Amino acid sequence: MLKRWSEWRENRQIARIHLSEQQWQQAMAYPSAAQLAPALTQRWRDMTLRFLLRKNFYSGAGFVISDEVRLRISAQATLPVLAIGLHWYDDWDSIVVYETAFIPPFAQRDESGLVSHSRRVLSGEAWLRGPVIFSWEDVIGAGHGAHNVVIHEVAHKLDMRSGAANGAPPFHHTMSPARWHEVMTEAWDWAHQAQRNGRPVPIDSYGLEQPGEFFSVLSEHFFMQPESLFEHWPQVYEQLMLFYQQDPLRGCFVS
């Protein structure tokens, strides 16, 4: 009963939101958006507004959180879960937005309990039991190449649902964890060998720092430059397609 009331209340809130076509087009920083079927585009728009209502946006260092900020981040964050559902984001609700790259003001506790105070300048960050943080400057820079800081950080959040950002998110029952591990390990090893030998790697080298970053960078490429990822690593593309239950090359869902 409570769930039905919450859905009714959310539907009422969505009905009161005025979103022009121009605003929506500006929010869709996604190269393959034109390939989406009209029904999927409408689903994306609806899920974007639901995400916007469910998450709390906070200012970093006094940055003004406008409707454009909320909408664009919500649209990009919703894209990866378009097929698998917004409930994959139910374990977090806070988003902090800085105007530009930032130094995290929080102390971070690792799995062993050690607390560290990072002084690195970042464009985005996802906390295991905390917020997702973005640089607005980097958010609006999405759409040029494979880089998309929002997709990168929410991919970390999906990965963390298994307990840690280790490159192995919770798998659907139709997936084979052994096959995922085999494909991702082969690509990981090949990329590191290519890097050591001075050969080009088909993804941002930042993804080679650790398995969690590998998954997030691959996710960026999957949505932003699917043709390139499929051309170089078709088996990796297939595993991501099975996880996200989308095929960006064809603009459709898969099951």
SS3 198: coil
Q: Lowest mean pLDDT: which of 20-24, 84-88, 143-147, 237-241?
A: 143-147
Residue 114: the pLDDT is 46
**Residue 56 confidence class, pLDDT cut points 50, 70, 90:** very high
Residue 234: the pLDDT is 98
Spatial distance between the Cα atoms of 120 and 99, rounded to a whole number of angstroms:
16
User: Mean of the per-residue pLDDT values for the chain?
Assistant: 91
Would the pLDDT of 143 be above 70?
no
- Which homologous superfamily is 32-104+119-253 in? Collagenase (Catalytic Domain) (3.40.390.10)
Average pLDDT of the residues in 217-241 = 97
SS3 134: strand
**pTM of model > 0.85:** yes
Would the pLDDT of 2 be above 90?
no
**Residue 115 confidence class, pLDDT cut points 50, 70, 90:** very low
- Residue 149, class by beta-carbon neighbours within 10 Å (0-12 exposed, 13-18 middle, 19+ buried)? buried
SS3 56: strand
pLDDT tens-digit series, residues 151-190: 999 999 999 999 999 999 999 999 999 999 999 999 999 9
**Residue 118 confidence class, pLDDT cut points 50, 70, 90:** low
Average pLDDT of the residues in 201-219 = 96
- Sign of torsion over alpha carbons 100, 106, 107, 110: negative
**Residue 35 confidence class, pLDDT cut points 50, 70, 90:** confident
Spatial distance between the Cα atoms of 101 and 127, rounded to a whole number of angstroms:
17
Q: Lowest mean pLDDT: which of 16-25, 42-51, 119-128?
A: 119-128
